[in-house]
Chains A and B, each alone.
Chain A
Amino acid sequence: MTTLDVRDLTVEFRQGRSRPPLRAVDAVSLQIGAGETLGLVGESGSGKSTLGRAILGLTPAASGSVHYEGKDITRAGLRERRALSATMQAVFQDPYSSLNPTRTIGQTLAEPLLVHRRLERAETVEQVRTMLDRVGMPGDTAERYPSQFSGGQRQRIAIARALMLSPHLVICDEPVSALDLSIQAQVMNLLADLQRELGLSYLFIAHDLAVVRHLSHRIVVLYRGQVMETGPAARVYSRPGHPYTEALLAAAPVPDPEQQRARRTARTATTLAPPNTGGCPFAHRCPHTVDRCRTERPALRPTGDSGSAVACHRFAELHPSPAETSNGKVPLV
């Protein structure tokens, strides 16, 4: 069964009386199956975090629907949300602001239990200790305050809090982007281990395609609130179908001086023209833009690859047959 089914979700923010509302998420659809990780990639302002918050009910949706385990939760009330919180949890980007500095780690971790399970004090303490142990934190963690921990440790604690109630779905909003490289790898491995053991589904939101590729089964690429491309993680990473995905991949410097030199010379400079409205949101930065791109918004169409879809007028033209691009190299713009 589909754990999460988002259909044509739109989120708007008011910008004062004289200006039209800002459409942060624009008719986005996505599905997450049980035990699956869906990677949501995009740059700042792409609406990826807003989408996560809308699913969690922290930001109201303007239109569209969110179904969770078969139930419509788009406009779930406070009581319904509280019931949902037993199985839908979140880990946020900033490990510094996501833990209340005035409460000990034990108090923070016990909170979900207080809401959903009425347990004896000793039992609560036991469960907190088990979970801290599970995420690799020492035994005395529960009595200490967040300020005594590093960013990576805090993120482990935040993951522990999300898992206290054995959720089915965890929305991970950039959980590793604030962490150092070696700590980032530790936390990514922890998330992967927990998924394998507990059968969790993740919506994994990040801006780094390499990070997302490693953890996700499928990837959705967002740009200015719209889905540009979706498909299996390995395919999106090795054979991107949308010029924006190509641009993202080409822009990320690879940790290899020679390869990076080759990529650099192949890369063309992007222009800084103002974005257009009405047509494809990426048209002003795209090297393949034709007139049609500026006037008509491309629909997200299946490409023939299993489970892949791309929103580009020129997809068929630019990717004539799979054979020509299947050599595993990243095609450069």
Chain B
Amino acid sequence: MNGLARRVMRRPAAVASTTWLGLVLVTAVGAPLFAPHGPLDQDLNHVLSDPSSGHLLGTDELGRDILSRLLYGGQSTLLGVVEALLVYLVLGVTFGLAAGYLGGWVDWVVTRTAELMFALPGIIIVLVVLSVFPSNLSAAMITFGVLGSPGLVRLLRAQTLSVREELYVAAARVSGLSRPQILRRHVLPRMISMVIVQAALFAAIVVTIQAGLGFLGFGVQPPNPSWGGLVADASNVIDTDPWMLVPAGVPLVLTVIALGLLGDAIRDAAIENWSLSKMAAPAAGVTARPAAAPDTDTDAGVPASDGAALLSVRGLSVEIGGTPVVQNVSFDLMPGQTLGVVGESGCGKSVTALGILGLVPGGGRISGGQCLFEGKDLATLSPAELAAVRGSGIAFVSQEPMVALDPTFTVSAQLAEAVRRHRRIPRRAARARVLELLDLVNIPDPAAVARRYPHQLSGGMAQRVAIALALAGDPRLLIADEPTTALDVTVQAEILALLRTLQDETGMSVLIVTHDWGVVADLCQRAVVMYAGQVVEHADVNAMFGQPYHPYTQGLLAANPHLAVEGEPLPTIPGTVPAPSDWPSGCRFSQRCPYATEECSAGPVALTRLQADRLSRCLHTDQLVLEGGRR
């Protein structure tokens, strides 16, 4: 908890509000010590006086010292806040967690009761309570806490319902923790920020409500001081002595603001320990496009752009938040061909694919290189020109088909919109084209599927619809980012077969991003293997599977359980892919490589051409081939 306090106090707003609230607390509790006068002492010689050395904040119409009345009045305010807040938190947290976690009849009773209480007019109930217990502020504040708690109950119940489904709660149950232990250790900590913010807001409301009651003459009775009463007194003399509103109102306003700021600060500090701060994105750099020449001097082996290629990427580099995540990627994709981009997560393969489309995620930008699509450099196009290429020239299919589909529109409406965006044809013709597209992706009964909403489709069916959506603009290039990873293996086989048929029928090229060697073997003619943001091997698929030229390719192929030998451990690559900030200056794979020597970490290793169309970024390919290649 000390750590939390220290983190809270690193925030200036928190320091300021804590100071103010502390000052209010200390001076109110210690009012007899600090107040220069008694709260009821009258000095009829100085009625409604301005601030002076005798009365620092002036006096009211009976000559009572305003500062002293403010300090004494704070006592009842604070007591009221504490009472209301305690009731609010105890009821809200207990019933919110219970309803969300236990469910069943507990949930039913709690939710119905909360709904009933929402329907009650709160302030009127408080006034009724005050008429039953005249000028008993505690009764009023406890009532107010009870009436406010349903709000917290509802919030916590909803939050608990979602946290309850988290796997770590299941894991805690399997570990044998009891319900109270699970609630205290695993559910409540996730709510704490929300509870704190709600509590601070509620405290602020209590302060104002109390002032309102005091202003109306309920609660603390004159001549005893209260903040609300002071405002009421000040409003009576507003025409003769407007100054009095300042000492009466400003502390009220400051306290409400301080409570809000402190709540925010505690919330931020409470979660900063375990939540990862998002990578700071440079706001200005997002759309800036560099005109830099491709930086290919380290990769002498890369041949010049092939004029026949549909897509020719040269020296593509991408930065996210100022950190390079993809560096100097080059490859060609011939018309009608399929190129696989292979690697593990964190190697930059998806970023490369999205970079070609000018859709770098996370506020990143292309920092160098060119992407020639049919001779046009995509990296230099304006957003409008790029938008024209997307869809009609290049289409995209993602891993999660549901992301591509809008849940609020039918399949037919979404496909028709895409069709009409690329071809100006009447609605009726567009609808006919929609059925054609659905038929093209082998959907049985296209007319029925067209009427459905995305949530009514199975995963495989949704991916077919997403592919149909991509085909709406008759693209020459389809970029597919792990299109079958989320699907069952039998459905995957169907989607792969579909992609192949579509390619035969339309002659389009496919760039497929995948981590599955089976998909590469099934679909691709050539493959690019990426590691830590670089291309490490680039070859014809048959040649690569037969004899990898880079140790990473070799290790990744060998780690595949399809090739496992019974009873023997799987060959592994030790360690993990380094994060972009930890890339070594030499060979990025050297730390995990069985062939690594001192030479490897001395400096960057170039992508070199070893045969007519085989590239590898390794100093020890000879040795790799000699020692048997694929184990």
Contacts and interface: CB of A to CB of B under 8 A. Distances in A.
Interface of A: 43-44, 53, 56-58, 78, 81-86, 88-90, 92-94, 97-103, 107-108, 111-112, 115-116, 145-147, 150-153, 158, 161, 180-186, 188-189, 192-193, 207-211, 213-214, 234, 247-248, 250-260, 264, 267, 269-270, 272
Given A98-B171, A185-B561, A254-B518, A146 B274 contact: yes
Contact of B518 (A86, A211, A253): A253
Contacts of A213: 561, 564
B176 interface: yes
A112 B172 CA distance: 8
Contact of B167 (A44, A98, A181): A98
Given A85-B176, A100-B189, A255-B520, A208 B489 contact: yes
Contact of B493 (A88, A180, A253, A255): A253
Kindly name the residue among A78, A99, A181 whose own CB sees the greatest number of chain B CB atoms within 10 A.
A181
B516 interface: yes
Nearest to A113: B175
15 contacts: A81-B173, A90-B171, A101-B274, A102-B273, A115-B175, A116-B176, A150-B346, A180-B515, A183-B576, A207-B489, A234-B566, A255-B521, A256-B521, A259-B521, A269-B494
A160 B493 CA distance: 36
A97 B175 CA distance: 16
A161 B444 contact: no
> Which one of A88, A112, A116, A208 has the greatest number of beta carbons of chain B within 10 Å?
A112
A258 B171 CA distance: 44
Given A99-B168, A150-B576, A182-B555, A188 B561 contact: yes
Interface string B537-564: 0000110010000000001110111111
Nearest to A53: B170
A177 to B, nearest CB: 10
Interface string B144-187: 00000000000000000000001110111111111101000110
Contacts of B268: none
B521 A94 contact: no
A78 to B, nearest CB: 7
Contacts of A251: 489-490, 492-493
Looking at B275, B459, B555, B572, the one whose CB has the most chain A CB atoms below 10 A away is B572
Interface in B504-540: 515-522
Nearest to A215: B561
Contact of A44 (B459, B493, B516): B459
B18 to A, nearest CB: 24
Given A103-B189, A253-B522, A182 B344 contact: yes
A214 B570 contact: yes
Nearest to B172: A111
Contact of B572 (A82, A84, A182, A272): A182
B190 interface: yes
Interface residues of B, number: 66
A86 B176 contact: yes
B573 interface: yes
A270 B494 contact: yes
Residue with the greatest number of chain A CB neighbours at <10 A, chosen from B276, B488, B571: B488
B570 A260 contact: no
Nearest to A58: B170
B345 interface: yes
Contacts of B563: 255
B174 A89 contact: yes
Given A145-B273, A182-B556, A211-B561, 9 more contacts: A43-B491, A56-B173, A207-B489, A210-B564, A214-B566, A253-B496, A255-B517, A255-B518, A255-B563
Contacts of A158: 171
Contacts of B497: 264, 269
A152 B572 contact: no
A152 B489 contact: no
Sorted from nearest, which 7 A-B pairs have the closest CB atoms?
A253-B518, A85-B176, A255-B517, A180-B344, A251-B493, A43-B488, A98-B167
Contacts of A88: 174
Nearest to B181: A115
B628 interface: no
A181 B518 contact: no
A71 B344 CA distance: 44
B189 A188 contact: no
Residue of B168, B274, B276, B574 most packed against chain A (CB within 10 A): B168
Contacts of A151: 345
Choose among B185, B271, B444, B555 the residue with the greatest number of A CB atoms under 10 Å from its CB.
B185
Contacts of B572: 182, 185-186, 189
A150 to B, nearest CB: 6
B12 interface: no
A100 B274 CA distance: 10
A49 B175 CA distance: 18
Given A90-B174, A234-B566, A260 B274 contact: no
A252 B175 CA distance: 36
A13 B570 CA distance: 39
B569 interface: yes
Contact of A82 (B176, B345, B490): B176
A272 B576 CA distance: 41
A264 B501 CA distance: 13
A150 B276 CA distance: 13
Given A181-B556, A182-B556, A185-B571, A112 B176 contact: yes
Nearest to A96: B167
A103 B188 CA distance: 12
Nearest to B541: A257
A181 B170 contact: no
A329 to B, nearest CB: 15
Interface in B283-339: none
Contacts of A58: 170, 173-174
Nearest to B518: A253
Nearest to A86: B176
Contacts of A234: 566
Interface in B373-410: none
Contact of A260 (B166, B172, B276, B521): B521
Given A146-B274, A255-B560, A152 B576 contact: yes
Given A152-B576, A214-B564, A264-B522, A85 B344 contact: no
Contacts of B167: 92-94, 97-98
Nearest to B270: A102
B562 A254 contact: yes
Nearest to B169: A100
Contacts of A181: 344, 515, 517, 556, 559-560
